[in-house]
Each structure stands twice: as structure tokens, then as C-alpha cells.
């Protein structure tokens, strides 16, 4: 079976990719420095994967991990707009230089495909909806700028070094194992954990900002398809559901699922947050045969069940 390397493989999205690959019988190497990834995320498949404690800023360690790999799924990142604003240098070291290291290690190891986790934050605050891959990038945070730089590096390595790369722009991924405890946590785990504790969730701004919330299992299937599709090589592809939901609507759905009576409170808007985001996923359909198999409501229900069981 092919050998797969997943950077950030103990993280939220990475661990779901690892679990799916292991379930298909692939040989899988998890490469993670455990700064945000959790060993418990891969404990259930510990006997079926190799776990390497390493940092994407460590090129020699990456070279060792990439040796013999057929496909690299590059999920490792400091994945937060506010964190990048607080510490742009750290964001650059991991998200830009770390990505370059992954590409160098992959090129030199003869890897057959790199699937790169990019971000919808690249589109910035353009009022045009839905977001199409051909739109002019307008990053408004160091995180978004770094993800765009990673895409450009992948494109260069695809054409110059003949290292086949596919760049997937994720839109607001959520699901089980997403950490609600970090000060930079995403909105779904923050709201879910607060409501389960009967505490008021905090909405930044008026709550009218909208997002294309995407359940993690859909993202996993897009990654597997990107590893197979020859037509996707060298392309940037949105991965989302193609639907928009406001933060206020999201909070209302979670309150109904949980049966919470507590009302949300509001705080000032966060710097760097975009107002509206919704994806055009027609390219994903064409190149990856992608359809989001799990709806927003089903995904939220599964997420709430997981947080209840993990409490």
C-alpha cells in the first residue's frame, strides 16, 4: 500500500485524515510537534500509524519523515488569524518557511503528490460572493498572507521541480476534536462548549457576519480525491459546502440542538475578521468529483454529540 505522510497529523483536521487513511489500510506517518496537536487524537489508531514528534521548521527531520512517502498531506500550521496578528513572525516561520521545508523534503524524497491545506482567508473582505478561485487575493492578516505564500510556493514547485501539488482552500472547518480551550479557538467549538456548560457564548460584532461552515469529514474526502486526481495538479480548489450561514444563525442552531436557554453576549469585532465568506465549489465538483456528503445540520449534530461524550 502507498505510504502517506501527514504533517500536523495529530491536529484537528490532520487526525481525521490520518484516521481515514489508516482505515483504508495505508501506511501512515504522523508528523507533529504537539504544540496544538494532541496525542489522544491518534491514540485510537496507535497500532496502525507511525508517530514522529517533529516540527516543520526542522528540515532534516522532515527529510527523514518524507523518505519513502508517496503522498504528503500538509496540514501543519499556526491556524489562527488573531494569533498571526499577535505574532506575525511565528506565523511566518511555521506557515511560510515550514511549508517551503515540506516542499523541499517532498521534492528530494521523490514524493508523488503534495496536498496543501490553504485557507479561504486569502480572499479577504471582497464583497463579491461566492468566492471563486480566480478572484484576486486580498489577504488581511499575516495568517492569510502566509497561506497565500504557501500556495505560490506549491505552484512553483509543481511547474519548476515537477512536484505535483494540489492546493485546497478550506472554508471554516468544524467537527469533533476541535479545541475550544485556546484563546484562538474557532467559533463552533467555542459556542458548543459554552452552551453545554450553560454559559453565554460570545459573538464578536453583531453576528451578521456569514461563513461557509464545512464539516471535517467533507474536507477529508476532498483531500483523498486531491491525492488521486491528475486534473487537480497545480490547481487551487475551494473546499466547502457552497452555503452561507450567519454567526447568529449558527448560535441559534446550536442552542436548539443542545436545548440551551442562555442567550449569547456580544463583544467588539475582531481585527482581521472578514465580513462574509461563501465558496463556489464548482471547480471541486469538476476536478475532484466532490460533493459535501455531510450537511451543516448533520455536522453540527455530530459535533455536539462528540463534545457531550468528551465532557
The C-alpha angle 242, 176, 267, rounded to 5 degrees, equals 70
The answer to whether residue 184 is catalytic is no
Q: What are phi and psi of 225, to 5 degrees?
A: -65, -40
Choose, from 31, 123, 143, 215, the residue flagged as catalytic. 143
Angstrom CA distances, 65 to 7, 238, 242, stand at 10, 28, 36
Which residues are part of the catalytic machinery?
143
Amino acid at each position: 500500500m502507498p505510504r502517506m505522510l501527514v504533517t500536523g497529523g495529530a491536529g484537528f483536521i490532520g487526525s481525521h485524515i490520518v484516521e481515514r487513511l489508516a482505515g483504508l489500510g495505508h501506511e501512515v506517518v504522523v508528523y507533529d510537534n504537539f504544540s496544538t496537536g494532541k496525542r489522544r487524537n491518534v491514540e485510537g489508531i496507535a497500532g496502525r500509524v507511525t508517530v514522529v514528534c517533529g516540527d516543520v521548521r526542522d528540515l532534516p527531520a522532515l527529510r527523514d519523515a518524507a523518505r519513502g512517502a508517496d503522498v504528503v498531506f500538509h496540514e501543519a500550521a499556526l491556524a489562527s488569524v488573531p494569533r498571526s496578528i499577535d505574532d506575525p513572525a511565528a506565523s511566518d516561520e511555521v506557515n511560510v518557511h515550514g511549508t517551503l521545508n515540506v516542499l523541499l523534503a517532498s521534492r528530494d524524497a521523490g514524493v508523488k503528490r503534495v496536498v496543501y491545506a490553504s485557507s479561504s482567508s486569502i480572499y479577504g473582505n471582497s464583497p463579491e460572493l461566492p468566492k471563486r478561485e480566480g478572484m484576486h487575493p486580498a489577504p488581511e492578516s499575516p495568517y492569510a498572507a502566509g497561506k497565500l505564500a504557501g500556495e505560490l510556493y506549491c505552484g512553483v514547485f509543481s511547474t519548476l521541480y515537477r512536484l505535483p501539488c494540489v492546493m485546497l482552500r478550506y472554508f471554516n472547518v468544524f467537527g469533533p476534536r476541535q479545541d475550544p480551550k485556546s484563546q484562538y479557538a474557532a467559533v463552533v467549538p467555542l459556542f458548543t462548549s459554552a452552551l453545554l456548560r450553560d454559559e453565554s457564548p460570545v459573538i464578536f460584532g453583531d453576528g451578521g457576519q456569514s461563513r461557509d461552515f464545512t464539516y471535517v469529514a467533507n474536507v477529508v474526502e476532498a483531500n483523498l480525491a486531491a491525492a488521486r486526481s491528475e486534473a487537480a495538479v497545480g490547481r487551487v480548489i475551494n473546499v466547502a459546502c457552497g452555503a452561507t450561514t450567519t454567526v447568529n444563525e449558527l448560535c441559534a442552531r446550536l442552542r436548539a440542538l443542545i436545548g440551551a436557554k442562555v442567550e449569547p453576549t456580544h463583544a467588539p469585532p475582531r481585527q482581521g475578521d472578514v465580513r462574509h465568506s461563501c465558496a463556489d465549489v464548482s471547480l471541486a465538483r469538476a476536478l475532484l468529483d466532490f460533493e459535501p456528503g455531510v450537511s451543516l445540520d448533520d455536522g453540527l449534530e455530530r459535533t455536539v454529540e462528540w463534545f457531550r461524550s468528551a465532557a
